[in-house]
Structure formats: structure tokens, C-alpha cells
Amino acid sequence: MVRGDRAGYWRATRRLMLAVVVLWLAFGIGATLVAADLATALFLGWPAAWMLAGLISPLAMVGLVFWFADRQDRLDRDYGMAEED
């Protein structure tokens, strides 16, 4: 990567965006589709369907946004596009 390469910076940003959106789809919608098949399963004493939609998915989304913020910061710095503050 080259500092000041605007096109390269935007390509990398777009790739990161797509990765996050795919993960978001997987945790936000995908998880609930799987849940129907887990209706009676148990996991660590929890009903597995509930654990997936009620605990794992929301936590995964929190983690996803923190991860994204960190990655994008690194992109900004690496390409020399970060703010001066």
C-alpha cells in the first residue's frame, strides 16, 4: 500500500465494508434461519436456538463494530488518510 494512494485506499475501504456487511448478514439473518433447526437442542445448559439469536448474535454485532472501527483506523493511518488530531 502507498501513502496518499486515494484509489487504493477506497478499494481497501470498500473491501472492508463488504466483509462487515457479509458478517452482519450472517449474524443478523443467517443465525435465525439456522435457529429453527436447533429448536430442541441444548448447548451448555442453554436452549441452543435461544443462545444463538438472543446472546451470540447481538454480542457478535458489538464485536463486529469495534473490530471494524479498529481496522478502518489502521487503513486510514496506513494510507496516510487519517485526520491530524
CB of 57 to other proteins, least distance (A): 6
CB atoms within 10 A of CB 1: 11
User: How many degrees, rounded to 5, is the angle at CA 16 between CA 56 and CA 50?
Assistant: 10
Binding-site string for other proteins from residue 16 to residue 35, where x marks contact by CB under 8 A and - marks none: xx--xx--x--xxx--xx-x
CB atoms within 10 A of CB 43: 13
C-alpha cell at 77: 493511518
Interface residues with other proteins (CB under 8 A) are: 6, 9-10, 13, 16-17, 20-21, 24, 27-29, 32-33, 35-36, 39, 42, 44-47, 49-51, 53-55, 57-59, 61-62, 64-66, 68-69, 72-73, 76, 80-85
